[in-house]
Amino acid sequence: MEKVILVTGANSGIGLALCERLLSEDLGLQLCLACRNMQRAVAARSALLTSHPDAHIDLLHMDVGSVRSVLNAAQEVKARYNRLDYLYLNAGIMPNPQFDLRAFFKGLFSSNVVNMFATAEGLLTQQDRVNKDGLQEVFATNLFGHFLLVRELEPVLCQAGHTSQVVWTSSSNARRSAFSLDDVQHRLGTEPYASSKYASDLLSVALNRHHNSRGMFSSVICPGLVMTNLTYGILPSFFWRLIMPVMYLIRIFTNTFTLTAYNGAEALHSLFLQNPESLDPRAKYHSLTSGMGINYTKARQMDIHDDMSETLYEKLLEMEKSLRRKLKEEEDDKQAYRKYLLQTE
Ligand SMILES: NC(=O)C1=CN([C@@H]2O[C@H](COP(=O)(O)OP(=O)(O)OC[C@H]3O[C@@H](n4cnc5c(N)ncnc54)[C@H](OP(=O)(O)O)[C@@H]3O)[C@@H](O)[C@H]2O)C=CC1
Ligand SMILES: CC(C)CCC[C@@H](C)[C@H]1CC[C@H]2C3=C(CC[C@]12C)[C@@]1(C)CCC(=O)C[C@@H]1CC3
Task: Among 115, 124, 200, 243, say which to mutate for ligand 2: greatest number of ligand atoms within 8 Å of CB.
Answer: 124
Phi-psi category of residue 120: left, alpha or beta, with phi > 0 → left and psi -120 to 50 → alpha: left
Predicted structure pTM score: 0.97
State how many domains the chain has.
Answer: 1
pLDDT of residue 312: 98
ipTM: 0.99
Cα–Cα distance, 168 to 198 (Å, whole number): 11
Domain CATH code at residue 82: 3.40.50.720
Q: What number does the ligand 1 atom closest to the CA of 224 have?
A: 48
- The answer to the question of residue 164 being in a domain is yes
Task: Among 228, 254, 262, 268, say which to mutate for ligand 1: greatest number of ligand atoms within 8 Å of CB.
Answer: 228
pLDDT of residue 112: 94
- The answer to the question of residue 111 being in a domain is no
Q: List the one residue out of 198, 199, 218 whose CA is nearest residue 210.
A: 218
Cα–Cα distance, 37 to 132 (Å, whole number): 18
Q: List the one residue out of 191, 165, 178, 211 whose CA is nearest residue 313.
A: 211
Q: What number does the ligand 2 atom closest to the CA of 117 have?
A: 11
Q: Residue ranges of the chain with pLDDT lower than 50?
A: none
The residue annotated as part of the active site, out of 81, 86, 88, 193, is 193
- The answer to the question of residue 102 being in a domain is no
- The answer to the question of residue 122 being in a domain is no
Inter-residue contact 126 to 187 (CB < 8 Å): no
C-alpha distances in angstroms, 44 versus 36, 86, 230?
13, 19, 17
193 in catalytic set: yes
Q: What number does the ligand 1 atom closest to the CA of 142 have?
A: 43
Strand, helix or coil for residue 144? helix
Cα–Cα distance, 212 to 244 (Å, whole number): 42
- The answer to the question of residue 64 being in a domain is yes
Range of the domain at 23: 3-94+128-224+260-283+295-344
